[in-house]
Chain A
């Protein structure tokens, strides 16, 4: 097990295009989280899953954003009709049950919308 894996590492897209990111959590972790980080700021919570159930979505997650975790394993985050304001680092993390002892983050996907 090599930790949380995210693909792609970098994505450049034109405004208006759709993009999809993938996250593979640590295998025994049943919780999976998505965060977004912009330059000079700390990560901001977007959503999380317990197994395959999406239990909370932030107000930051507009209707252009959708996340799935089929079968409780990997997760995808899709952004439709990208805007320049979507440019950020998208971070995935996982934990076993509670997050009270912290998460393990993946390497992130850096999105640039041009």
Chain B
């Protein structure tokens, strides 16, 4: 079983819609949870992190964490063409090693 699994893409949404990305993790000891955005050919960029159950909102992005279900999600509201990228879910065990999922590619149609 992989440490972090993401729903397989690609995910195509129309401009202005909500994009919903899901992620599950296997290790209950995971402490913090991250969403990175990666444009093609570029390095990952941290867009959200969450460590408590519930929702965390930052602009058009909302991260949701449910530790009982070992589930993390990311909602992108009012999706824009500039949101087209691969979104990587990551978890951290201990305080140094990130384990990443394979990523979900999102395409926002104008």
Q: Report A's interface with B, CB cutoff 8 A.
A: 31, 33, 35, 40-45, 48, 55-56, 89, 91, 98-108
Contacts and interface: CB of A to CB of B under 8 A. Distances in A.
A43 B92 contact: no
A100 B46 contact: no
Contacts of B90: 42
Contact of A42 (B43, B88, B92, B97): B88
B15 to A, nearest CB: 26
Given A100-B32, A101-B49, A102-B32, A48 B100 contact: no
A98 B95 CA distance: 6
B31 interface: yes
B65 interface: no
B100 A103 contact: no
Nearest to A98: B95
B78 to A, nearest CB: 24
B43 A48 contact: no
Contacts of B102: 40-42
B51 A42 contact: no
B43 A99 contact: no
A62 B34 CA distance: 28
Interface string B54-73: 00000000000000000000
A100 B90 CA distance: 11
B34 A31 contact: no
Which residue among A42, A48, A91 has the maximum number of chain B CB atoms within 10 Å of its CB? A42
Contact of B32 (A101, A105, A106): A101
